[in-house]
Amino acid sequence: MTTLSKVIAGCWRMADWGWSAPQRLAWIEACMDRGVSSFDHADIYGGYSVEALFGEALALRPALREQMQLISKCGIKLVHPARPATRVHSYDSSRAHIVQSVENSLRGLRTDRLDLLLLHRPDALLDADEVAEAFAELKAAGKVLSFGVSNYSTAQFELLNAVTPLVTNQVELHPLHRDTLHDGTLDQAQRLKLRPMIWSPLAGGRLFSDTGEAAQRVRQALTAAGAEQGGASIATAAYAWLLRHPSRPRPIVGSSRLGALDEALAALDWRMEDETWWAIWQAGAGHEVA
């Protein structure tokens, strides 16, 4: 089973950074110097361009590949010039699509394997046995070492996990979006001892900028929690809130700013007190627990 770093570097917006290949390499190296060795991709990121941008940078120092874990996702089909055959924005979990997507990802990332492949979204037409066949084929060929899903419900996870071993479910979680705490998703992860990955741990920046009442309450609660910890930032408090969950989630930090990684890493040694955790939950929910 692939071992990932406790914090994961998200590459979603790399195409927007406007960086040269040496600048991208410097960012990769800085992440790894901090112990962040896992990099989260998807075939569609940057209009199907991000994996190639990362691969171009990695090719400048290919020995780094043996020290990192590459994660990618597939299953979403965009209507985009890079995929002229796609007529409808849709999902596709067919064997042919999964296998071809992996080939495209390997070519873009300039690697011979993915450490982890996730199905990006639940597909109403998913044939679990066909997916299992594709996964078995890719693993036997050494092209993918382990498999998981993203945004799957507990029932959808159970269906696929019954026919092919899954290692994670990548889901959204932050104080403004708490569904996975209460819909069984993290209970399932804890029962199966499969650590979830968390996307948008800072609500896509809304924890800092949203002017709604819930966001303002959460900011106040996170600020208070940080003050109790000697002046930790709002971001570090938000990561500590996530990391307090016993499913041992791995947050994805999707920023070019290395300081953002440092704020997440600072939370690793902070075991948030239960009442502080619940105060932040209450701020997001807008009410006390029943």
Q: Which residues are catalytic?
A: 45
Contact 145, 139 (CB under 8 A): yes
Count Cβ atoms below 10 Å from residue 59 Cβ, excluding itself. 14
What are the C-alpha distances in Å from 167 to residues 36, 44, 117, 174, 235? 19, 22, 10, 22, 27
| H helical segments located in the chain | 14-17, 21-33, 45-48, 50-58, 95-109, 128-140, 154-161, 179-182, 185-192, 206-209, 213-228, 234-243, 258-266, 274-285
15-to-32, 85, 98, 270 alpha-carbon distances in Å: 20, 23, 23, 33
Residues whose CB falls within 8 Å of the CB of residue 232, separated by 6 or more in sequence, listed in order:
225, 226, 240, 266, 267, 270
H or E element in which residue 73 lies: strand 69-74
**Closest C-alpha to 177, from 220, 206, 153, 148:** 206
DSSP line for 241-257 = HHHTSTT--EEEE--S-
CB atoms within 10 A of CB 75: 26
- Nearest of 269, 209, 206, 213 to residue 236 by alpha carbon: 269
Largest CA distance in the chain: 56
